[in-house]
Every structure is written in C-alpha cells, then in structure tokens.
C-alpha cells in the first residue's frame, strides 16, 4: 500500500526543479509542440470515473461516504481501451483526452504518490491510463490527459481553494496547499514519464483566481515542465486567456466563438447535457448539428473536442457511437476540408456554414463548408477578390461553373457558382475553390446570402460613457474569452458578450450591403434558460440616416447554439428600418435610458429582411 506517501519538497524547490529540467532538455519549437494539434482539428474527450457507479447516490450515506463507496465498488468489467480507440479512429478523431483525475481526486492510473487510485482502492485493479496509452500508440492516435487542479479528496487541498463552495469531502482546517502543489507536480511528472502524453487539459482552477493565490500554480514552471516532455497545456491552468504562459485557449464549456479570435483554441462540447454518463439524459445532439459545429470551429481556426461518457461498465453508449460513425463517414469523404487546414479568410460569422483553407506553394484551396444549401441553384460568395482556377464538389470531384462580377456600387466582388438544386450531402456539402496565391477577402462585416446582417457585439467598436485611457476599443482586443474581469466602462461579459447598461454607452459597426430593402432590427442578449428577463432600460439603433428606439423587452427566446444548452438568446425587436442604398453602412447601438435591474449581455444586433 502507498497510503500516506507525500512529497516533502517545498513547492518552491519543486518549481525550481521543473525549471532546471526544462533547461537541461532540448526545447521544442512552437511548431514541433503545436503542429499536431493544429492539424488534428477533431478529438475525443472521455469523462469516466467512479461517479458513474449506480451506488453513487445510495441513500443513508453522506457525501463523503457516497464518493468513498463509489470508488471502492468501481469495477468497469467491460472496459476495453482498444474498443474506445477504435470508436475514436472510425469517427475521424485524431486525439483523445482522458480524465486521469477529476475533482473527486480518484486516479485512474497506478500512481506511486497515493493509494486513492484504480490499482489500490478498487476491485478493478487495472491501469486504465496505461492500457489507453498503449492502445493509442498502436493506432497512431495522440493522447492527452485531463487533470483537475481541484481535489476534493486530498487532505492537503485547502477547501478555500476549491472550485466549488462546500465540495471538499472532508475539509482539513490544517491543510497546507503547498504540500498539495508538491503532490500535483509529482503526479504530472509521473504521468509524463510513464505515458508520454502530448497534452494536459487542466481544469478546476477557479479557486486560484485571486492573483496572490494564482502564484501557487506556478504557471510558467508548469508549462516549462510540460513542454520539456513534449506536452502542451491548455489555458485553464490559471485562466490564462491571453496565453501569456500556456500553449492554447480552452473555450468555456460548450462554447463556440462566432469568428476568428486570432489564437489557437479548442472547444470542448458534450453530445447531450452531461459530461459523465447519466442515465436518462436523452437530449442528444444530432450528427448534423455536431458536424455543423465541427466545420464552424475548424473555420475559425480551432479544434472540436467532442465528449463521450462511458457507463459504469466502461462502455461508450450506442447513442454516441452511432453519431460518431456518421461523422467518421462524412470525414472519410470530406476530411481534406478539415485536417491540416487553417482559419478561413473571412473573420466573422457566416450563417450558411464556414470556410477553411490550405495553401501549398503558390496555390490556395478554399473549402466552402455549406450547411444551409442554396435553393435556387446558385451559391454566391461575397468579398473574395482572387480569380478562381477551378470550382468543384469535394466529395465527388464534379466540376462547377462559376462567374465573377465586381459590383461597383456595393464595392464588393461577387462569385456565383452554379450548384445542384439539392444538397449533395445530407449533412454538410463542401465546395472546393482553387485560387492563385493567398486568399484576399473583404474584412468588413458583409451582408449574408439570405439578405440578413449579423453584427457580433464582441467585434464591435466601443464608445464608452467617458474616455478610459489605454483601454482597447474593441472587446475582442481585450483578450477576455472565458472569465469575466472588472474594468471601467464597457467590458466583455461571460460567453463573449458585451454588457451595456448606462446612458451614453454605445457600440458601433461598419458593414457592407448588397441587397437593399426593409429590415427588422433585433438585439440578442444572453441569459440562462430559467432567467426571468427584467431589463428596464431603452436602446436605440441608428443606421442609414434612421433611428429606432425601444425598451429592451423579451419578444422571443431562441436557443443559443454557441453556448451550453442552458443558455438562451433573448430577442428584443426595436423596430424596422429601410436601407435603400448598397455599399458601406454604419450602425450604432446606444443606451438611451439606464438599466437598473440588470445589465443586458449583448450577443449581436441583427437586421432581418422583412420579406424573408
């Protein structure tokens, strides 16, 4: 038994040791570390542990006893690492991230630093991490490890650092967090040396957000340590959204950015409403929805980490397997549009799908990943200024005829591609465009093919109530993606939205119109599903020499497809306007009456054609 084994080194000594180790090993270049990640685009997240046991909620036991019993009876008799890897590979996934230790502290490998692991505390007595590492190696699938910084079981994890209030099983008033840090660093080194992972997915560091506490994480030392072993780190190691220390950004749970945010990122998402297996959770996303998310994330330069939750016997549910099979079959035909591609040349949201691209020598291929297929037999692409050498359907290779026209009045080039009237693929159809050189595309907001205009608040220009020195004018440039931070004036809020509440505050956008007409003016705000809308202020939109002003009432509520299922979009209609001239327009959204009950978190402003 290994019970009671702990490191006696101080955290400071261990941090110094990690720096020395990083200096003595050959440092890999950024591309050496990140190249595989940027090429992969699609991975499998696996949440699996004792919490899946049916005994977890046995009556008559307190919280600590339930967790203890759940681990003591953990026995996933049907676990087969090779089967997990086969499912991932057949789905077209290039890497797996497995929960080595979740918040409950239970370790799924043979750790020499604790007996709270699968080998010592359970009847299963098999090294799950070891078996998974071997199976991944055999199939050339990269392996990453989820590791929770929070540990509700460890006696030295001070409960005041917990990521959730009241969730330490047996709080120790004399806990020494530096001793826990020695333990954590020891386990990270153990995992690196025993299993050679390519990625660490940290979680649970919310209790360290205070700058004085955050120092204990030793972000620079940890990343140096991991990089020296050839592994990369996500930004949840201390909420490092600016990537000052870590290698890439982890979006919020189930969060998808609505455009190019300019950094390497990964979007971890569930197939239903839960991360771990939960019996009765039948709110499954369709394969089409998940493929749409894949092309959207890849088009913005990120990776889609799609979660599965094996049941208590270690079996990935059939509902997950059937959807992954469809995704894999699509990728067999269209994977060229995903793997190894880079962010598309248009930086904002496209409501018909996304664009990915790859450049080889002096030729670029643009992949138009179309979810909403044109019904009139013509696909129109606005703003591309390159000449097209060839247009074709990626899956079949069928050549498509095309024309290019510069609309001088609108100031935009329009590519028209003749396409089948029915979508070639029931999920996502891909048009491949070969062009000379690097893609040159209009970088302003463009009207969508259906005539609508979508103006993302996170990419607006801020007009504060009063001047704030040294503050970036665009929310995007503040580099706050996942955790809210305090500041003066207009600030980004949770879910890449923007909070407006005081008279004199405003957002501004420039956009280009190709189709004139009458438009309904909508303002979308982010709320939780159970939230009762109480906004009491007024807003005004000014565009094309007209203004519409109204209370921000809830006129409708839509699903927020870029956030978790519990997040919704409150739709407020301000009125209607008419745009009778093509070309550049400027729209301003301003607060005209203070909001006292709540601050609306603005997602976007939309102009919807009245006749559509």
527 DSSP 8-state letter: E
CATH level 3 topology of 344-443: Immunoglobulin-like (2.60.40)
Name the band, by pLDDT with cuts 50, 70 and 90, for residue 5: very low
Question: Tens digits of per-residue pLDDT, 505-524?
Answer: 999 999 999 999 999 999 99
Q: Say how many residues make up the chain.
A: 612
User: Domain locations in the chain?
Assistant: 11-337, 344-443, 453-609
Predicted local confidence at residue 503, as pLDDT: 95
- Measured between alpha carbons, how far is residue 294 from residues 46, 70, 289, 303, 353 in Å? 18, 35, 9, 8, 10
pTM given for the model: 0.94
Q: In what order do the strands lie in the sheet with 402-407?
A: 378-382, 412-418, 402-407
List Cβ neighbours of 386 (8 Å cut-off, separation of 6 or more): 364, 435, 436, 437, 439, 440
Question: Tens digits of per-residue pLDDT, 71-104?
Answer: 999 999 999 999 999 999 999 999 999 999 999 9
User: What are 557's strand-pairing partners?
Assistant: 570
Residue 7 has pLDDT above 60, yes or no: no
- The pairing of strands 556-559 and 492-493 is unpaired
Rounded Cα distance between 401 and 320, Å, is 39
Question: Tens digits of per-residue pLDDT, 470-482?
Answer: 999 999 999 999 9
Predicted local confidence at residue 58, as pLDDT: 53
Instruction: Give the residue-averaged pLDDT of 605-612.
Output: 90
Question: Which one, of 575, 562, 566, lies nearest residue 608 by Cα?
Answer: 575
User: What are 528's strand-pairing partners?
Assistant: 567
Question: Which one, of 475, 485, 484, 513, lies nearest residue 589 by Cα?
Answer: 475
Rounded Cα distance between 5 and 337, Å, is 50
For 123-150, b/e burial (b = at least 16 CB within 10 A) is ebebbbbbbbbebbeeeebbbbbbbbbb
Structure tokens given for 161: 């650092």
532 DSSP 8-state letter: P
Rounded Cα distance between 296 and 381, Å, is 17
50 DSSP 8-state letter: G
- For the chain, give the longest Cα–Cα distance: 79
Q: With the C-alpha atoms ordered 216, 220, 223, 225, is the resulting torsion angle positive or negative?
A: negative
Question: Which one, of 205, 247, 243, lies nearest residue 229 by Cα?
Answer: 247
Question: Tens digits of per-residue pLDDT, 250-267?
Answer: 999 999 999 999 999 999
Which range, of 9-18, 425-434, 533-542, averages the lowest pLDDT? 9-18
Question: Which one, of 350, 349, 331, lies nearest residue 341 by Cα?
Answer: 331
Structure tokens given for 209: 């957000």
In order, the DSSP letters of 327-379 are HHHHHHHHGGGTTT-EE-S--S-BTTEEEEEEEETTEEEEEEEESS--SSSEE
User: What are 366's strand-pairing partners?
Assistant: 357, 433
Name the band, by pLDDT with cuts 50, 70 and 90, for residue 167: confident
Rounded Cα distance between 394 and 408, Å, is 32
521 HSE (CA, 13 A, CB side): 22
Predicted local confidence at residue 566, as pLDDT: 85
Name the band, by pLDDT with cuts 50, 70 and 90, for residue 15: very low
Name the band, by pLDDT with cuts 50, 70 and 90, for residue 53: very low
Question: Which one, of 247, 318, 271, 310, lies nearest residue 108 by Cα?
Answer: 310
Helices 177-195 + 219-228 axis angle, to 10: 20
User: What CATH architecture is 453-609?
Assistant: Sandwich (2.60)
For 210-237, b/e burial (b = at least 16 CB within 10 A) is eeebbebbbbebbbbbbbbbbbbbbbbb
Residue that is written with structure tokens 């609309």 in the block: 407
Q: Which CATH number fits domain 11-337: 3.40.50.2300, 3.20.20.80, 3.40.50.2000, 3.40.50.720?
A: 3.20.20.80
């Amino acid at each position: 038994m290994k019970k009671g084994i702990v490191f006696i080194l101080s955290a400071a000594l261990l941090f110094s040791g990690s720096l020395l180790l990083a200096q003595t090993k050959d440092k890999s270049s950024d591309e050496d570390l990140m190249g595989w990640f940027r090429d992969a685009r699609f991975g499998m997240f696996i949440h699996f542990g004792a919490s899946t046991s049916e005994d977890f909620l046995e009556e008559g036991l307190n919280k600590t006893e339930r967790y203890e019993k759940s681990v003591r009876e953990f026995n996933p008799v049907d676990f087969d690492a090779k089967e997990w890897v086969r499912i991932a590979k057949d789905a077209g996934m290039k890497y797996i991230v497995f929960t080595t230790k979740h918040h409950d502290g239970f370790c799924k490998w043979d750790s020499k630093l604790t007996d709270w692991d699968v080998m010592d505390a359970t009847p299963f007595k098999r090294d799950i991490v070891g078996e998974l590492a071997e199976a991944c190696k055999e199939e050339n699938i990269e392996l990453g490890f989820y590791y929770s910084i929070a540990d509700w079981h460890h006696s030295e994890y001070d409960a005041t650092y917990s990521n959730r209030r009241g969730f330490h099983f047996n709080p120790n008033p004399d806990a020494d967090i530096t001793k826990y840090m020695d333990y954590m660093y020891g386990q990270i080194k153990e995992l690196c040396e025993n299993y050679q992972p390519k990625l660490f997915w940290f979680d649970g560091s919310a209790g360290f957000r205070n700058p004085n506490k955050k120092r204990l994480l030793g972000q620079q030392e940890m990343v140096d340590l991991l990089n020296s072993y050839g592994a990369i780190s996500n930004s949840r190691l201390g909420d490092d959204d600016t990537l000052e220390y870590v290698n890439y950004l982890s979006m919020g749970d189930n969060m998808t950015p609505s455009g190019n945010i300019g950094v390497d990122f990964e979007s971890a998402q569930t197939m239903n409403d839960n991360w771990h297996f939960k019996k009765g959770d039948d709110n499954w996303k369709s394969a089409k929805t998940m493929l749409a998310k894949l092309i959207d994330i890849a088009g913005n330069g990120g990776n889609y980490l799609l979660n599965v939750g094996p049941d208590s016997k270690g079996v990935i549910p059939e509902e997950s397997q059937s959807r992954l099979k469809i995704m894999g079959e699509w990728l067999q035909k269209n994977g060229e549009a995903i793997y190894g591609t880079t962010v598309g040349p248009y930086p904002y949201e496209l409501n018909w799908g996304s664009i990915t691209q790859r450049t080889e020598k002096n030729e670029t291929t643009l992949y138009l990943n179309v979810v909403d297929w044109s019904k009139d037999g013509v696909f129109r692409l606005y703003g591309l200024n390159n000449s097209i050498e060839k247009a074709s359907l990626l899956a079949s290779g069928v050549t498509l005829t095309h024309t290019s026209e510069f609309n001088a009045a609108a100031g935009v080039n329009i590519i028209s591609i003749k396409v089948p009237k029915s979508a070639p693929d029931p999920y996502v159809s891909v048009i491949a465009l070969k062009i000379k050189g690097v893609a040159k595309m209009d970088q302003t907001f463009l009207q969508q093919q259906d005539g609508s205009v979508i103006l993302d608040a996170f990419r607006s220009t801020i007009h504060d109530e009063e001047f704030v020195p040294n503050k970036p004018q665009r929310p995007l440039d503040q580099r706050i993606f996942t955790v809210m931070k305090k500041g003066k004036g207009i600030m980004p809020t949770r879910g890449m939205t923007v909070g407006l509440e005081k008279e004199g505050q405003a957002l501004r956008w420039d956009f280009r119109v190709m189709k004139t007409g009458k438009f309904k003016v909508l303002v979308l705000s982010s709320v939780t599903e159970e939230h009762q809308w109480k906004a009491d202020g007024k807003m005004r939109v000014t565009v094309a020499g007209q203004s519409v002003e109204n209370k921000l009432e809830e006129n409708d509520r839509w699903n927020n497809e870029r956030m978790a299922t519990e997040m919704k979009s409150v739709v407020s209609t301000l009125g209607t306007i008419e745009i009778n001239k093509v070309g550049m327009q400027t729209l301003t959204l301003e607060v005209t009456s203070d909001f006292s009950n709540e601050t609306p978190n603005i997602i976007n402003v939309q102009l919807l054609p009245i006749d559509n």
